[in-house]
Amino acid sequence: MQKFIFEIRSRGFFLLIVSFLIIAGLVYGEVTEQFDRSTILYFQSASGNTSLDLLMWVLTEIGGIIPIMIFCFVMFIWRKTRRMGLILLLAILIGTVVSGYLKDYAVERPRPDLEYLGTELPMDIESDTTVLGGNGSFPSGHVTRASTLAFVLGYALSDRFPRGWVLLWIFPLCMALSRIYLLQHYPMDVIGGILFGIIIANILANKLKLSEYLTNSKI
């Protein structure tokens, strides 16, 4: 089994936490504001390709909480993947609620206020769901969910596909790109979302003994 689930008291997990806190502190202190602003202005000017605009919209819709929860629930009701489904359900719920709290009450960074200039989309762009009703930006909830999925599924498939599990990380990376492309988040928001998703998934994978479950199962 690939060793990328960290023990909660390990150096690797500590570095994850520290990295996330450093990025959150930089965002809170507006240290990254110029970089974030210039990057998102570039994406604003780059939109307009119909196929690419629609692809980015589809990606960001997939990362909404309802599609992700449906996927996790299907895994939960299937007996062979029940433990993974439970971990994913809890991680998605906890990640969404806690990221919402961080966005609205801790970091309190406003979302980008730029107008989307690309192709007219079939529906309004999906914003992050926060049960707190705010409109904060850091960390990205969509990317948190995508990162959680990639982490747990990648770990589960790492024995059967020693290198192929890396492909699962295309999903959170594409999700991150779509959120910036559609002017919903700044670059540091999505980086924070990737780290936060890994942290949440890692904690629950340890607490619910995912490694032992996979060792004793045929998945």
- The pLDDT mean for the chain works out to 82
pLDDT confidence of residue 210 = 63
Selected residue with higher pLDDT from 130 and 82: 82
Selected residue with higher pLDDT from 203 and 7: 203
Q: What whole-number distance in Å separates Cα of residue 196 and Cα of residue 140?
A: 9
Q: Backbone phi, then psi, for 16, in 5-degree steps?
A: -60, -50
Q: What whole-number distance in Å separates Cα of residue 49 and Cα of residue 190?
A: 23
Q: What whole-number distance in Å separates Cα of residue 87 and Cα of residue 84?
A: 5
Q: What whole-number distance in Å separates Cα of residue 173 and Cα of residue 92?
A: 17
Average pLDDT over residues 164-179: 85
CB-based contact 122:148 (threshold 8 Å): no
The model carries a pTM of 0.85
CA-based Rg of the chain, rounded to a whole angstrom? 17
Give the DSSP letter of residue 112. Answer: P
Question: What are the pLDDT digits (tens) for 1-16?
Answer: 445 555 666 787 888 8
Question: What are the pLDDT digits (tens) for 45-55?
Answer: 888 888 888 99
Question: What are the pLDDT digits (tens) for 184-197?
Answer: 899 999 999 999 99
Q: In sequence order, what E strands does the chain have?
A: none
